[in-house]
Amino acid sequence: MNLALKNEDAIRDYLLGRVGDEALLADYEELLFADEEFAGLAELVEDALVNDFVFGKLNEIDRADFGATLSLRPDRRAKVALARALREKANPPVAEKAAESSFFDSLRAFFRDPLRSAALAVVAIGLVVFAVILLGRPKTDELAELKTIYGGGRTTETRLSDFDYAPLAATRGATEEREKSRLRRIENGLLERAEKNPADAEAQHALGVFYLTQRKFAEAAAALEKAAAVADRDARVLNDLGSVYFEQARTEPAEKRLETLARALENFSRAVTAAPDFRPALFNRALCLQELRLGGQAKAAWNAYLEKDADSGWADEARKNLERLEQSNANSKTAARVLDDFLAAYRNRDPETMWIIDSQTREMVSGVWLADQLSRRFVDARSRGDDAAAAETIDALKTIGELEKTRTADFFVAEMAAFYEKADPRRLAELRRAKEFLGEGYKTSTGGDDETARALFERARQSFAAAGSLWEAAVAEHWIAFCDGYLKNLTESGRRFERLEKFAAEKKYRWLRAVVLYRLSTNAYFLNDHSESLKYDLASEKLMDEIGDTAGQNYVFSEIAASYYEIGELEKALGYAGRATFADQSYYASEKQTWRNQGNTSMILGRAEFSHAALAFALEHGEKAKSIADREYVFNSLRNVALGYAAVGDYDRARAALDESLRVAAALDDEKSRRILSAKSVWLFGQVERLAGNCPAALAKYDEALAAYRDFPEETVDLYRIHKGRLQCYQTLGETEKLRSELETARGLLEEYRAEIVEDENRNVFFDREQTVADIAVETALTGGDAAAAFELAEEAKARSLLDFMRGESSFDGKESRFATATRHLALAEIQARMPAGAQLVEYAVLPGRVAVWTIDRERFGYAETPVGTAELERKIDDFRRALIVEKENRDRIAGLGADLYRLLVAPVQSRLDPARPVCFVPDKALFRLPFGALFSKAGERFLVEELTPLYAPSASVFVLASENARRRENERDERLLSVGNPRFDAAENPSLVDLPAAAFEAEEIGRLYPNARLLTGVGADKASVLNGLNDCRVFHFAGHYVTNEISAPHSKLLLAGRDGALPLSELPALRLPALKLVVLSACGTSLDRLYRGEGAVGAARAFLAAGAPVVVASGWPVDSEATAALMIEFHRGRREKGLAVPEALRRAQLALLGGANERFRRPFYWAAFAPTGGLTNY
């Protein structure tokens, strides 16, 4: 730093605004904040300037310069006002002295007079009060100055709460560059106040607004979220927070934009709720709806705004936005309009417009597909002898073919056009008949009669084939396979689609192949194979992107979003729903596909708790259904609207929507459809009344719905939901006897569904969603003081599918695991009688408002609980994991967070645990993500693993069965080892994965500890060799890469070498590995792919338990290869050389790293990821 800056003359020049150099200004400001001595000197110089200014002792130039700074420095104006007040109080009106003293002489003379000293004290007290008030209200100064900076042009499209109208700046950055110094000073002032007053909503709000004007969205959101946490009904704060998310969304890709805009809309809507006439929020809400492409909702919102503001600059912008919405309606076009537009572009020889129209209208059912329209037009022209029209039409068709061939290497339309050009009258007549059958098939299929539609498509296929149009015969074949799928003939449908896919690939018909891949995805979805469905969808989307088929992409995006929604992957569902919402529709938007997208998006947003956004999409969905004029579309939309209104607490409108849905259902022609749909609306009426807090009315509706459903026993899921609603009502009303009775009914239905849902993954998803019933049952028993009954009810809901695997009640069909029956859990008495003598067990149930904790051994049963909210507990676990994995260097933070969780989860039962015996922890819900061994005991100043020997099981029943499984194998002394290390995986298929030489070393060193070992590394670690080794090994150690499947845990895999270089988890249950004593999965995240609230952790560890392993050592996060090698070698050495049982051997290995010479490996990240899961072993 330049020492010359600390010269009084230099400081004086700075304070008089005479420093123009930006670098020097930055140096001065840094000194003011970082150097207390400099800040004190500057304050003295400034006080002298203020005094000289008030007493008229500045020369003309200095006075002018100082006066110019006052408009920019409210704090300096306050000092001038204070000095003037001092002068008036301390100097009564007497004749002025002939000679005036200096500033410091004046002060000395002033303090000699007691009256003057007293006056100063009074004024000083006033100054302190004034300063406190000033510092507590940051917006009046810095924000006022900020508004003057942006008075000529705003930086955000949204309307900020405290800013007047200014047009949107044409260019960005010029103002910021020009006002760099002022903006830096404003930021420093606001930042200082916000840091001094972190709970001051005004200070945080002002800082957030500043950052928003600078387009620093992360900083703006952080400050405004803090403000909103304190002032959650302040419309100004909520509006500006919404503005941050809106502006941020406009910079994001489509897959992020929907969620961020939904967040913006939530805040704008909350602001309007808090202050219904608050114009900035009304303006921004309309803008957000428009950005979400909800044209009808946006129009209504803009018109509502204009009712409040008709003649401002903001009103002018509102009217312009309304004009844009009117223009966007032109994107919804009839088939005839599409054809006219294309022919106009063709006649103008405009290839770009032709390409845009062609690429956005490849939709068959609606009749807009140009290849079909032009071929029909050609046939019609030739049949009536209009040679000019025929010539133009065939040339237009050939032009499309040439565009698609040259731009996307797709030969479908080019070859079809060449065929039509040479077709004779006989062929043309056959083609006309074929097209009529095809059109009738479309209409019939759309009406829901797939059987009749299939027959029409078959006749179309035969006629196309007879005429020689193999292209359109393939299209008809595609529709036959489509109908087969909806008629549940999935095997035949799949065969047809697979033949078509091969045909299309060979002929380079890329559009047809993309469509067929999409249909194969739908079939896989019907078969509940979500991973296969996703694979086909992604392949289809990639191909559609390459050929520019935006209409097809829109279909696929929506399907992928729905798949993710079904399995609860809401972030991914929102991403693909966003891609569907913001797909390129600059020319054409399919009404029916838009309707589907809006319905899917409404459900996804509702599940993600973006209730206002969900309602907006539901309302738009309803308006779109009316324009389509299909009663069932309208009915489904009205139910969505009712759910949307209920979610935002507008129960009267929800009831009105359901009343209308009942009227629509009553008008349906088919009696069965009419009665089922009416029953669905009545059931939903009950849900709305329950959410509204009107349980008596809800129960009446549930009873009415139950009566209606008696004639439709196949509607089992709805019946269960009705009983679940009654159960929740009885809990709310405190009607204990009815609650218990309804619990029995609901639990009985759940057990029926457990038997009916035969696929493992689908069962896990269903019971994850329905865990509420199990929780209510546990809560009811605890409220009644029966801790033992509560334990059994909690145990009943845990890991039941894994229990079926372990008892052999499952089969395998080559793609997924299925269950013949649903087995029961073990009763408490049976658990105590059969658990290992040396074991003790701690089981948890995470309930609303508390965590229930049971302790069990062979002789004792105990219960404790700790009060903590579910969301708070999950946040604590997330923070702890983040500290362990990301902030791994911060021991103090890790210890603090670990101690807090130890206090909540272990301390209540610590006195009942014997440190000399292993402890099996049975987690629940988010607790599966918690490494108990890394929890920290403040009393002992050590980690839990230093006090206890932990192991884990997903349920007490699983623990008992796995322990018995281990006991049957404990006398086998010949531990044949299969040690797999660093397989040479396909790097092209896994480009993000690296070679793991430490894993190869690990496998080799562990192999030396076992006399009977088989080592597979590098290219030798192929699938066939691994499977062969698994058949007769006793210990399986895998050190390599584990790849999780984001859509379906059964398709996660251990990477191996060779052509079939992977072992998917889905294949493990079929292996049945009764010889295995121990499995060690020394790879990243092998214990937890997905977490289900009922089944628990689903991943590689569970798969090996299901295959017959008594105990599996697996990891909870991505691990360090070198540290893991050291840990695993030490673990196996403990087993082989010291005869330690698995839990103790792992504990000793972890303690070795914790207390070892390698300081880096002492951190919990390196040793706490691994844990034994399953049963207790003595080997």
d(CA 324, CA 312): 19
- In this prediction, residue 293 carries a pLDDT of 95
Amino acid residing at 708: A
DSSP-derived secondary structure for 902-918? HHHHTGGGGGG--TTS-
Q: In which band, very low, low, confident or very high, does the pLDDT at 138 lie, cut at 50, 70 and 90?
A: very low
pLDDT in tens, 1012-1038: 999 999 999 999 999 999 998 999 999
Query: 450-467 vs 470-486: helix axis angle to the nearest 10?
Result: 160
- Which of 650-653's residues contact partners 24+ apart within 8 Å by CB, and which partners? 651/688, 651/689, 651/691, 651/692
Burial zone of 738 (CB within 10 Å; 0-12 exposed, 13-18 middle, 19+ buried): middle
Nearest to 161 by CA among 98, 234, 74, 70: 234
The class of domain 962-1174 in CATH terms is: alpha beta
Q: In which band, very low, low, confident or very high, does the pLDDT at 173 lie, cut at 50, 70 and 90?
A: low
Residue ranges with strand state E in 736-782: none
Average pLDDT score over residue span 539-544:
94
Average pLDDT score over residue span 410-439:
96
Q: How many residues does the chain have?
A: 1179
DSSP, collapsed to helix, strand or coil, labels residue 1119 as coil
C-alpha distance across the termini of the chain, in Å: 68
- In this prediction, residue 72 carries a pLDDT of 64
- In this prediction, residue 288 carries a pLDDT of 98
Q: What is the CATH number of domain 423-483?
A: 1.20.58
CB 1098 within 8 A of CB 1130: no
pLDDT in tens, 315-324: 999 999 999 9
Q: Please provide residue 92's backbone torsions phi and psi, each rounded to the nearest 5 degrees.
A: -65, 160
Number of alpha carbons in the 13 Å side-chain half-sphere of residue 39: 8
pLDDT in tens, 218-272: 999 999 999 999 999 999 999 999 999 999 999 999 999 999 999 999 999 999 9
Q: Please provide residue 851's backbone torsions phi and psi, each rounded to the nearest 5 degrees.
A: -115, 120
pLDDT in tens, 1094-1129: 899 999 999 999 999 999 999 999 999 999 999 999
Residue 41 has pLDDT above 80, yes or no: no
Q: Which residue has the higher pLDDT, 630 or 976?
A: 976
d(CA 522, CA 506): 23
Q: Please provide residue 1056's backbone torsions phi and psi, each rounded to the nearest 5 degrees.
A: -125, 180
Residue 300 has pLDDT above 90, yes or no: yes
pLDDT in tens, 971-1005: 887 899 999 999 999 988 888 899 999 999 999 99
d(CA 570, CA 576): 10
DSSP, collapsed to helix, strand or coil, labels residue 567 as coil
H/E stretch holding 431 reads: helix 425-446
Residue 198 has pLDDT above 60, yes or no: yes
pLDDT in tens, 658-708: 999 999 999 988 788 889 899 999 999 999 999 999 999 999 999 999 999
Average pLDDT score over residue span 299-320:
96
Contacts of 276 (CB under 8 A, 6+ apart): none
Q: In which band, very low, low, confident or very high, does the pLDDT at 922 lie, cut at 50, 70 and 90?
A: very high
Residue 124 has pLDDT above 70, yes or no: no
Summary mean pLDDT of the chain? 88
d(CA 210, CA 224): 10
- In this prediction, residue 22 carries a pLDDT of 66
- In this prediction, residue 1075 carries a pLDDT of 87
DSSP-derived secondary structure for 781-845? HHHTT-HHHHHHHHHHTSSHHHHHHHTT-EEE-SSSEEESS-PPPPPHHHHHHHS-TT-EEEEEE
Nearest to 1105 by CA among 840, 803, 842: 803
Q: In which band, very low, low, confident or very high, does the pLDDT at 132 lie, cut at 50, 70 and 90?
A: very low
Tell me which of 592-596, 811-815, 1165-1169 is least confident.
Answer: 811-815
Average pLDDT score over residue span 624-635:
82
Domain with CATH 1.20.58 in the chain: 423-483
Residue 1 has pLDDT above 80, yes or no: no
- Which of 992-995's residues contact partners 24+ apart within 8 Å by CB, and which partners? 993/1041, 993/1043, 993/1055
Residue 388 has pLDDT above 60, yes or no: yes
d(CA 921, CA 900): 18
Average pLDDT score over residue span 405-416:
97
Q: In which band, very low, low, confident or very high, does the pLDDT at 1064 lie, cut at 50, 70 and 90?
A: very high
DSSP, collapsed to helix, strand or coil, labels residue 1115 as strand
- In this prediction, residue 341 carries a pLDDT of 96
- In this prediction, residue 100 carries a pLDDT of 40
pLDDT in tens, 391-403: 999 999 999 999 9
- In this prediction, residue 930 carries a pLDDT of 97
* Bridge partners (DSSP) listed for residue 1098: 1090
H/E stretch holding 847 reads: strand 840-847
DSSP, collapsed to helix, strand or coil, labels residue 1121 as helix
Tell me whether strands 1090-1092 and 1096-1098 are parallel, antiparallel or unpaired.
antiparallel
pLDDT in tens, 729-771: 999 999 999 999 999 998 888 887 776 666 677 677 777 877 8
d(CA 594, CA 589): 7
Residue 103 has pLDDT above 50, yes or no: no
- In this prediction, residue 111 carries a pLDDT of 43
Q: Would you state the structure tokens that stand for residue 259, as one six-digit string?
A: 């969620």
The percentage of the chain sitting over the pLDDT mark of 70, rounded to a whole number, equals: 89
Average pLDDT score over residue span 718-736:
91
pLDDT in tens, 851-904: 999 999 999 999 999 999 999 999 999 999 999 999 988 999 999 999 999 999
- In this prediction, residue 119 carries a pLDDT of 44
Domain with CATH 1.25.40.10 in the chain: 138-330, 673-806
Instruction: Select 835-948's CATH number: 3.30.310, 1.25.40, 3.30.420, 1.10.3470.
Output: 3.30.420
Contacts of 963 (CB under 8 A, 6+ apart): 835, 836, 839, 1110, 1175, 1176, 1177
Tell me which of 380-389, 768-777, 976-985 is least confident.
Answer: 768-777
- In this prediction, residue 117 carries a pLDDT of 47
Domain with CATH 3.40.50.1460 in the chain: 962-1174
d(CA 1116, CA 1091): 12
Q: Would you state the structure tokens that stand for residue 810, as one six-digit string?
A: 């499952």
Q: Would you state the structure tokens that stand for residue 777, as one six-digit string?
A: 């049952």
Average pLDDT score over residue span 441-447:
88
DSSP-derived secondary structure for 46-80? HHHHHHHHHTT-S-HHHHHHHHHHHTT-HHHHHHH
d(CA 1103, CA 317): 60
CB 91 within 8 A of CB 54: no
Q: 138-330 domain in CATH 3.10.450.710?
A: no
DSSP, collapsed to helix, strand or coil, labels residue 155 as coil
Neighbours of 349 (CB within 10 A): 9
Q: In which band, very low, low, confident or very high, does the pLDDT at 488 lie, cut at 50, 70 and 90?
A: confident
Fold of 673-806: 1.25.40
- In this prediction, residue 848 carries a pLDDT of 93
